[in-house]
Amino acid sequence: MLWLPLGPFHAMENQMLVIRIKIPNSGAVDWTVHSGPQLLFRDVLDVIGQVLPEATTTAFEYEDEDGDRITVRSDEEMKAMLSYYYSTVMEQQVNGQLIEPLLIFPRACKPPGERNIHGLKVNTRAGPSQHSGPAVSDSLPSNSLKKSSAELKKILANGQMNEQDIRYRDTLGHGNGGTVYKAYHVPSGKILAVKVILLDITLELQKQIMSELEILYKCDSSYIIGFYGAFFVENRISICTEFMDGGSLDVYRKIPEHVLGRIAVAVVKGLTYLWSLKILHRDVKPSNMLVNTRGQVKLCDFGVSTQLVNSIAKTYVGTNAYMAPERISGEQYGIHSDVWSLGISFMELALGRFPYPQIQKNQGSLMPLQLLQCIVDEDSPVLPVGEFSEPFVHFITQCMRKQPKERPAPEELMPFGSQSW
């Protein structure tokens, strides 16, 4: 790459700079800047935020003379980009060519409507050229266990989402495994929900969790909460997701059947999507169904990382009241068990109380195992006929069959989901 000495660069200082912001899958927006060299990284992100209001952009790229993309994430990298750009402008001027605007590419943004518009990743990639570098999991062979703690720490803390960029605001709620905060992501100006879980586990386990979480990046459904990134700091993991301004369904108490029908469509679609990716939710319950004022319903807290689920289970002992009878008895767990939890959740939302009157859920959904034995021993509860429509009662009854195999299979659930009862 050609770097001009300082002289010509300074000579350009007062010149106007046109930054052309490339919009993914469409055109571009030109932005005229009057004091180019003083421009800060944050200023550029602000403008990108106005051009792509739906996206959470934390970095952008430009192309060098070989067409290689260089990522800009800091003022330092901004300076390098401007220095490079002004050197090309000088050349264009010397050769009597038209001055080309500075073309930048908001990092991995997709247009509104598509999933993962934020283009953020779980931080398992190392090094400054992380956009093109190999995944750590690729570059670390099985003897990676020998990597030094310091190196692993760096890997785990590295990336686009990090503690320094997050300002915690309100506490949204406490669960069995951690606390969820409403937070402000400074570089993008976006509001996030950040779940912080204390986990006293080894660095190796932390790394395993991080790579297991990477599948969230591929999740692409409007019925699943958007995932922005995750990072470990000391003994806690922070998982950053889309903020849902309507909160979770557990606080809504009794929901009318016609509204529940619409919610069920979204929840069934979300579950079917996860199952299609071979992911079992494992924690279907009203507090893991989130709503927003755009009328969307999305699932969260699904068990994408076995290691995370296990680590939480070891730290926070108890049995979930929405678990299927076979799971309470310690038998095998499958899609059918998620279907049970779907049924009992919707029954609770319809009744406005937990369907087993003998089970008092005071705080949270974790209970001593003995208290849940009635779910294993007794017949499933049934919704009162007359108060609810026949298709709705049928839907719940089918989902809450004691025998897992008698519960509806995913393709049989969809007709319920699309039905207006």
N-terminal to C-terminal alpha carbon distance within the chain: 66
Is 288 near Mg ion (CB under 5 A)?
Answer: yes
193 binds ligand ATP (CB under 6 A): yes
- Figure out which of the listed residues 17, 44, 81, 290 binds ligand ATP, where binding follows CB under 6 A: 290
Window 350-379: residues binding ligand ATP (CB under 6 A): 365
90: left (phi over 0), alpha (psi -120 to 50) or beta: alpha
| Rounded CA separation 175/239 (Å) | 14
Of these, 108, 161, 180, 201, which contacts ligand ATP (CB under 6 A)?
Answer: 180
- Shortest reach from residue 381's CB to Mg ion, in Å: 24
31 C-beta neighbours (distance < 10 Å), count:
19
* Selected range binding Mg ion among 170-178, 214-222, 337-345, 350-358, rule: CB under 5 A: 170-178
- Window 294 to 323, contacts with Mg ion (CB under 5 A): 301
298 within 8 A of 222, measured Cβ to Cβ: yes
Show contacts with ligand ATP in window 144-173 (CB under 6 A). 172-173
> In this structure, what are the phi and psi dihedrals at residue 376, rounded to the nearest 5 degrees?
-80, -40
Binding string, residues 235-254; x marks residues near ligand ATP by CB under 6 A: ------xxxx--xx-x----
The distance between the two most distant Cα atoms of the chain, rounded to a whole number of Å, is 87
Residue 126 CA: distances (Å) to CA of 122, 132, 208: 11, 10, 15
283 is an active site residue: yes
Q: Which is nearer to ligand ATP, 71 or 288 (CB)?
A: 288
Cβ nearer to ligand ATP, comparing 56 with 248: 248
Helix (H, G, I), strand (E, B) or coil at 399: helix
Question: How far, CA to CA in Å, does 104 sit from each of 30, 60, 160, 373, 393?
Answer: 10, 7, 18, 60, 56
Applying CB under 6 A, which part among 111-119, 120-128, 284-292, 379-387 lies near ligand ATP?
A: 284-292
CA distance 361 to 371: 10
Q: Which amino acid type is present at position 306?
A: T
Residue 177 binds: one of Mg ion, ligand ATP, none (C-beta under 5 to 8 A by kind): ligand ATP
Q: For residues 315 and 398, which CB has a smaller minimum distance to ligand ATP in the complex?
A: 315
Of 46, 283, 301, 338, the catalytic one is 283
Q: Which residues bind ligand ATP (CB under 6 A)?
A: 172-173, 175-178, 180, 193, 195, 225, 241-244, 247-248, 250, 283, 287-288, 290, 300-301, 365
Q: Which residues bind Mg ion (CB under 5 A)?
A: 175, 288, 301
